[in-house]
Structure formats: structure tokens, C-alpha cells
Structure 1
Amino acid sequence: MLSHEGPPDTPPLHPSAFMLQALLTMANETEREVARHLGLNLTDYRALGAVSQAGPMTVGALAAQLGATAATTTAIVSRLELHGFVERLRSSEDRRQVHVTCTPAAAAAISALMRPLVTATSDHLASLPQDQQAEIGTFLNTVLQLMQHHLLTLSEKDTP
């Protein structure tokens, strides 16, 4: 977490940088609460979220996205499947390949929990003048790109 006061030789951070940090913290807390409502631990919920957003994927692709081993991801998928959140489907192109997909019931449960926030956010954005909407979209896209770059930088660093 960033502190409002940095090292003495660094320029002060823009106040909005702290708002972004608060937003990310709130997103993490919301994610934990949604997982709790679904009866899932956070790791399993993140796997479910990845499958829900990306669509059908192999266990290997899911493992890569989660940064987990294939064995760990297989265990996660088995737990999610046991509770009816995902199902395994054989590929129509290559019957040896199995894809994990989110069940309609799981998608509906996630949507029911997130729809109020998404709707309120969309409604608020729609109430703003078009130029502000465009500026916000540009800003959020820039922040997304900065975060993707930072994530890549972090993942390339040697771990102790």
C-alpha cells in the first residue's frame, strides 16, 4: 500500500493515485465478498472468474492465467465442478482436449451479485456529458495499460 508520504527526494503523488489505490483495494474486498456469497475460497473464485470472462479454456490455459501448476488447477476445477460452477467439455475439434466452461447457473449467480454495481456505474457514466465519458474511458484504458505493463515488469523480476 502506498503511503501519502514518499521518500524525501521523490515528488508527491497526485491525489487521484491514492483514489486508484483505494479503488483497487475495494475491488479486492468486493471480490472476496462475492466469493464468500458463492461459498468459494478466493482462489477458486478467481479461477471461476477467469473461465467466466474468457469462455471455455483448457486446464493448462487456466493454469497459465492463474499462475498455478496444472495439478493445482486440476484440483480447483474439480472443486468447482463438484459444486456445479463449471463443467468439463470435450473439444469438438480434438476429442483428446478438454475445455472448462462456466455453467449457466454460475454465470447467473455471479451476474446477480455484480449487476447492481455494474448497473449503477453504467448509469452514472451515462449521466455525464459525452466529453467526460470519453475522457474517463481514455483514462481507464491508460491505467489498464500501465497496470498490464507493471504486471509484466513484476513477473519478469527475479524472485528472492
Structure 2
Amino acid sequence: MNTSSSRPVFETLQSLYAIVRESEREIALNLGLNLTDYRALSVLAQFGPMTAGKLAEDLGSTAATTTAITNRLELRGYVVRRRNTADRRQVLVSSTPASSQKILDLMCPLATAIDGHLQALPLDQRAAVASFLDVAQHLMRDHLQTFPQKEAR
């Protein structure tokens, strides 16, 4: 990175990533889960029911690993498996309402605080923050595509 004016933003983003990872660990511990299982539960809570194959893809894991994760979460009452009503050959995995609510309860104080801070900003600054975060998200996704594919490793 050559531009010294970008350095404070980049360093702040790196700190944010670290805090996000630490937050994930703490939430996982609070739910009595390991980090991998929490990440799977979080994907299901955020995006809704999906096949184990789609969950594996989203997690970047194998089918066998995802099955083990799903089994552990199901035994703990965090997820359920149901036949897809549109295609009975498919089984969908979904978070239970109670587990989704637990995650929301843990995240709500932070979301409320962030919302309060954003609401205190002028509208143009809120738009700039939203735009920056959107661009950063897209750039991060694009950057992920530059890494060698798992099959090639």
C-alpha cells in the first residue's frame, strides 16, 4: 500500500476485522459452541434454510465436515432438518427460531448502539458510510477470488 492517506483507514479496518473475530469467538462461547459450529449457525440464521451442500459451499468446507457440524447443532437443538416441500429429494437445514433469537439477543445491544450513532450523523455522512462499507464488501469479495481455488491446493 503506497498511499499514506489510506493507511489510517486500512489500519482501522484491520482492527475491525480482529474485533469481529473476537466477537464471533465470544458469541460462540456464550452459545456453548465452537467457532466453526457458530459460523454455520450464523449462516443459517442470516440466510435461512439451505441444503447441506449450499451450507458447505458458504462455509468453504467439505460435505462430510458440514454433516458433522449439522449433526452437532441438531443434537444441541440449534438447527432442524426438513424435507424441501418443493423438491422432496432435498433436505433443508435451518436454524431454530430460538437459536436465531439467541444470536439476535447477543447482537442487539451492538446493533442498537451503532444505529444510534448513525442516526446522529447527517444524512450525507450516513450515505457515505453505507457506500464505503458496500464498496469495501465488494472489494473483499473480489479479492477472495484472487486466491487459488481449494481444488488447486
TM-score, scaled to structure 2: 0.93
Supply the AA of the counterpart residue of 2:22. E
Count matched residues.
151
Gaps of at least 5 residues in structure 1 are 1-5
Displacement of 1:156: 4.0
RMSD: 1.5
Cα deviation, 1:101-147, whole Å, max 9, x if unaligned, reads: 01011011001100000110011101100010011111111111111
Supply the AA of the counterpart residue of 1:128. L
Supply the AA of the counterpart residue of 1:75. A
Cα deviation, 1:29-77, whole Å, max 9, x if unaligned, reads: 0011000000000000000011111100000000111111111101100
Task: Tell me the distance in 2 between the aligned counterparts of 1:110 and 1:11.
Answer: 39
Q: Aligned to 2:14, which of 8, 21, 30?
A: 21
Q: Aligned to 2:83, which of 82, 86, 90?
A: 90
Q: Percent identity?
A: 51
Secondary structure in structure 1 of the residue aligned to 2:33: coil
Gaps of at least 5 residues in structure 2 are none
Matched with 1:75 is: 68
4+ runs deviating over 3 angstroms:
10-13, 155-159
Q: Aligned to 1:153, which of 124, 135, 146?
A: 146
Counting only pairs closer than 5 Å after superposition, residues 30-69 of structure 1 correspond to structure 2 as 30-69=23-62
TM-score, scaled to structure 1: 0.89
